[in-house]
Structure 1
Amino acid sequence: MAKIETVGIVGFGVMGAAIGLNAASSGYRVIFKELNDELVRAMYDRWVKSALEKRVAKGKMTPQEMDQVAGMISGTANYRDLAPCDLIIEAAVEKMDLKIQIFKDLDAVCRPDAIMVSNTSTFLIEKLMASVSNPARTAGLHYFFPANINRLVEVIRQKKTSDETFAALMAFAEKNRKVPIAVKDFPGFAINPVFISSYMMLDSFIGETYNVATLENISKLALGVRFGIMWVQNGSGLGTCYHAAVSMNDYLADTDVGYPAVPDQLKVQFESGNPWNLEDGPVADDPKLLDVVRDRLLGSIFTISTHLIEKSVVSPKDLELGICTALAWPKGPFAMMNTMGLKEAARLVKLTVESGAFKLPQTFADGIPSPWEL
C-alpha cells in the first residue's frame, strides 16, 4: 500500500486549512499552496497560528502541542515545492476550469506515484482528472463542512482509481480520526444527492400555506433531529445551497434517476442575500397539512437513496453510516424504511415519483421489496 507521510494542500481557505490542521494533528507533514507569498503568510497566521492559539486559550491543547502541530505545517506559492508530497489534496474554489488547470500544474511537478485527490463536492472526479498521467493514483476525498468537526469523509473511486490508491486513502482518513465510506464517482457522490433533494423538496412548499418555521418543524419531527433542514441551509449558506441544487438538477433531471426542479423560493431567497427566517410566524399544527410535506420529504429521501444503491454508488450500510455521521440524523433512509415498513415506504416513493421529482427505482417498480439488510 502506498505510504503517505507528507500531504500537499492546494487552496488554504476555510476547508483546506481545516483539512491541513486535521492532518498535521494526526502526525502528517503538511505543505499548503497559495497564490502568492503574501497570501501564504496571511493564511498561515489566520488558519494555523491564530486557530491554534485559540485552542490553547480554551485549554484544548498545551503550548507545546501547539508548537508541534504548527511546526508540521508550511506554505508555498510555488507548485514545485509540492514535489516531496505523497498525497496532494485540491481544495480550491468550485470552478471546474480552475481545478482542471491545478491538476495539470501538479502533474508537471509531482512524483508520478503521488496520489492526487479533489475535495470537490460538485464535479465528477473523472472529469477533473482527465489530464493527469497515471490516473490510477487519482480519486476524490470529500470532507464535510466544518471539516475540523464533521467526521465523515467520502473516499471516491473513479473508474481508473487503483485498489492501492483507494486503500491508502481509506487508511489516511482513519488515521485522521475520520469515518470514511466508499463511494463511486457520481454527481454529488452519496450524501449530497440525498440532502440536496431534501431541502429542494422542503423549500418548494414555502408559500401561503407553509411558512419557514412550519417547514423547519416538520423536518425536525420527520427526521428526529434537533436542528431542521431550514436551519442547516442557513448554516451552509443559501448561495451554496442554490448552486448545488442547480448543479444536481443539471446532472440528473434528464437521466433514469431524475431530480427535483430548482425551487423558485430558494432562488429568490438566495438573491435577497438573507437567510431563511426561522421565526417567520406561527408553526402550523394541522396534522393533514403536516403529513403532506412529511410524506414528500421522506419519499424523496427514500427514492434517491434507492437509486444510489441501484447504481452501485454506495452500499446501504455505508450510506446509512454516512448520513448519520455527516447529517446527524438518528436513522438513515434504510433504517427509517425498515421501521415504518416497506409497504408504507413504497407508498411514499410512489407519491414522490408521481409528483415528477424522480423516476421510479426498479426496486419499487417490482412491488413491495423486502426490508433492507443493514
Structure 2
Amino acid sequence: MTKKRMMVIGAGQMGSGIAQVFAQAGLEVKFNDISEDALIQGRKGIENRLRRAVDKGRITEADMRDVLGRITTTTDLKEASDCDLIIEAVVEKMDVKTNVFRQLDEIAPEHAILATNTSSLPITDIAAATNRPSQVIGMHFMNPVPVMKLVEIIRAIQTSDATYEAVEAMTVKLEKTPVEVEDFPGFVSNRILMPMINEAIYTVYEGVATPEDVDAVMKLGMNHPMGPLTLADFIGLDTCLSIMEVLHEGFGDSKYRPCPLLRKYVSAGWLGKKSGRGFYIYD
C-alpha cells in the first residue's frame, strides 16, 4: 500500500467512524455513499466527534482541521480507481454487498485490497463475487469505531497471507488491536454477543423481568458496562435480528433462533435508538 490512499463505502455510523480513524492515522480517505444527504450527515458526525475531542483537550484545532482535510466525499464509486484499500460498510445484506464488490473488482487497481466491515456475513461468499478473492478480507470494527480498540480480521478461505499481513499492519497503524478470526457465522464477537442479547430478549418476552431489571442484573451482577437490551437498542434491533438469522441459518441450531419479540419489534419499526424506540424510548 505505497500510496496509502483509501475509500470507505457507506456513510452510516460505522462508515463515518472508519473514515475518521483512517484520516486520524494520516491517510487520505475518499468517503463514499450513493446518498449526498448521508454523506453530509456522516461528515457532520465526524466533525462533532472531533469537536468534542478538541473541547476535552485531546486534540488541537489544527489537528481537527488536518483530519477533516484528509476526508473528501463522493457519490461516484469510480473514485476507487486509484485506491489501495477499500472498506465496504453498507447495509448488512449479502446481495447489496456482493454487488458493491463486483463493481469494485472492475474499478479498483489490480493490487487493491477489498475489505468488508460485515458483522456476520460469510467473507468467503463475498470474495467469490470477485476475480481477486485472495485480496478480499473481513475488517470488522467495533462500535463506536473511534473509541473501541478491537478489529476482527476475518480470513476467507481464499484470502492470501500477504493480504492478511497488510491489513494487520494497517490495523496496528490505526492504533487498534487486530485479532485473527476464521470465516464462521458471526465470527467471534457476534457469535458470543448476539445469543446473549437474544436470551435477554427472551427473558422479557417470557415475562421473567422488565428490560430495566434485565439490564440491571447484567450491569450490577456481571459488571457489564451496558445492559444487553440497552446495547441492542444502540446496535439496532434490525441488525441484531439479521445477525441472529445468519447464525441460525449458518449453524442450523435452534439455540440461535431469533426471539419472536425481536421480530415483532423490528416489524413495528422499533429499531432502537436510531428510530427513537426499541426496548427503551429515546428523544
- Tell me which interval the TM-score lies in, with the shorter structure as reference length: 0.7 to 0.9
Match of 2:255 among 254, 259, 268: 259
Matches within 5 A, 1:1-150: 2-3=1-2, 5-35=4-34, 38-39=36-37, 42-43=40-41, 45-150=43-148
Match of 1:276 among 263, 274, 279: 279
- Counterpart of 1:119, as a letter, is N
- Counterpart of 1:104, as a letter, is R
The answer for the alignment partner of 1:158 in structure 2 is 156
Do the aligned residues in 2 keep the contact of 1:33 with 1:40 (CA within 8 Å)?
no
Deviation at 1:265, TM superposition (A): 3.0
Matches within 5 A, 1:187-336: 187-206=185-204, 207-220=206-219, 223-254=222-253, 259-272=255-268, 273=270, 274-276=277-279
**Structure 2: stretches of 5+ with no match in the other structure:** 271-276
User: Structure 1 segments of 4 or more deviating over 6 A?
Assistant: none
Deviation at 1:161, TM superposition (A): 0.7
Q: Supply the distance in 1 between the matched residues of 2:220 and 2:236 (Cα, whole angstroms).
A: 23
Q: Supply the distance in 1 between the matched residues of 2:264 and 2:197 (Cα, whole angstroms).
A: 15
Do the aligned residues in 2 keep the contact of 1:248 with 1:259 (CA within 8 Å)?
no
2:128 partner SS: coil
**Structure 1: stretches of 5+ with no match in the other structure:** 279-374
Supply the RMSD in Å over aligned alpha carbons. Answer: 2.4
Query: For the structure 1 residues 227 and 57, does the alpha-carbon distance in structure 2 shift closer, same or farther, using more than 3 Å as the test?
Result: closer
- Counterpart of 1:275, as a letter, is G
1:7 partner SS: strand
1:204 partner SS: helix
Q: Supply the distance in 2 between the matched residues of 1:58 and 1:3 (Cα, whole angstroms).
A: 34
Do the aligned residues in 2 keep the contact of 1:44 with 1:75 (CA within 8 Å)?
no
Q: Supply the distance in 2 between the matched residues of 1:54 and 1:223 (Cα, whole angstroms).
A: 31
Do the aligned residues in 1 keep the contact of 2:92 with 2:242 (CA within 8 Å)?
no
Cα displacement string for residues 208-261 of structure 1 (whole angstroms, at most 9, x for unaligned residues): 44333343233335533243222222222323223322232122124xxx6332
Q: Supply the distance in 1 between the matched residues of 2:7 and 2:208 (Cα, whole angstroms).
A: 51
Cα displacement string for residues 60-112 of structure 1 (whole angstroms, at most 9, x for unaligned residues): 32221112111211122222221221100001111211111111111111111
Query: Which region of structure 1 is more displaced relative to structure 2, 91-100 or 19-28?
Result: 91-100
Matches within 5 A, 1:159-174: 159-174=157-172
Q: TM-score, normalised by structure 2?
A: 0.87
Do the aligned residues in 1 keep the contact of 2:33 with 2:39 (CA within 8 Å)?
no
Q: TM-score, normalised by structure 1?
A: 0.67
Query: Which region of structure 1 is more displaced relative to structure 2, 108-117 or 5-14?
Result: 5-14
Deviation at 1:19, TM superposition (A): 0.4
Cα displacement string for residues 148-189 of structure 1 (whole angstroms, at most 9, x for unaligned residues): 111111001011111111011111111111111000111111
Q: Which has the larger radius of gyration?
A: 1
Deviation at 1:130, TM superposition (A): 1.4
Deviation at 1:144, TM superposition (A): 1.1
Q: Supply the distance in 1 between the matched residues of 2:162 and 2:267 (Cα, whole angstroms).
A: 45
